[in-house]
Amino acid sequence: MSNDLSHIHRFVPGNRREATPLLLLHGTGGDESDLLPLGEAIAPGAALLSPRGQVLEHGMPRFFRRLAEGVFDEDDVRRRANELGDFVTEARKRYGLKAPIALGYSNGANIAAAMMLLRPEALAGGILLRAMVPLRDAPVADLAGKPVLIVSGQSDPIIPPSNSQRLAVMLTKAGGDVQHRTLPVGHQLSQADLTIAKEWLGNIEAMNQTAA
C-alpha cells in the first residue's frame, strides 16, 4: 500500500508489459485491496493500479458523495472525477504506465463513467460493472472509439435496466465503442461478469496487437 500520491492505493506491477494496465475502482465499503483478485483474474499479468475512495459514508469508503441511494451529489462527482484523473496522471508518471482501462464495480463503475465523460484522456477504456448515469447534465466528451463494456443485472434492485441503457447510449454518442450486456442477476457480481469481462478484454488486446 502507498499513500505518497494523492490517493492511498496499491500498485501491482504485473509481468506482461504489453498488457493494458487496469485501474481498479471498488464499490461502497471496499478499499484498495478489494478488486485485486478480480483484476488478476480478468487480466492475468497486467499492471494493476487500485486507489481507495476518499469519501466516507458511515465509515465506508466511496469515490463521491451521494444524497440518497441512487441520488448523487453531482458537484462532488465532478470534483472527485477530476481528482481521480489527476491521480491517474501522477501514477502513470510514477510507475511508467500507459493509459489504463478502468475496471469499476458499483460506485467505482459510476466514478469511472464520470471520468470517461469529464476526463476521457485519462483512460483507455472501461469495464463498468453495475453502473448508472453519473451526471444528468453531462458535458460533450470525445471518447473517439475507446472500448467500453457495461454489464448490468436484470434484477438489480438499485439500478433500473433503463438507467444502464441510458448510460450506454450516452457513451456511444460520445464516440465510445460500447458493448452493453445484461445478466439475469442482481447487484452482486457473478462468475458470468468475470467471464464476460475477461473475454472482452482479451478481444481488445488482440485487436490492439493486430493494429500494432
State CA 200 to chain mean position distance: 14
Q: Are strands 147-153 and 22-25 parallel, antiparallel or unpaired?
A: unpaired
φ, ψ at 111 (rounded to 5°): -70, -30
Residue of 156, 164, 180, 193 with catalytic role: 156
Percent composition of the chain: helix, strand, coil (DSSP 3-state, to 5): 35, 25, 40
73 given a catalytic annotation: no
Residue of 106, 152, 180, 193 with catalytic role: 106
| 178: helix, strand or coil | strand
Report how far apart, in Å, the C-alpha atoms of 33 and of each of 12, 24, 102, 152, 164 are: 11, 9, 15, 23, 26
187 given a catalytic annotation: yes
Residue of 6, 76, 177, 187 with catalytic role: 187
156 given a catalytic annotation: yes
φ, ψ at 125 (rounded to 5°): 160, -170
Enzyme catalytic residues: 106, 156, 187
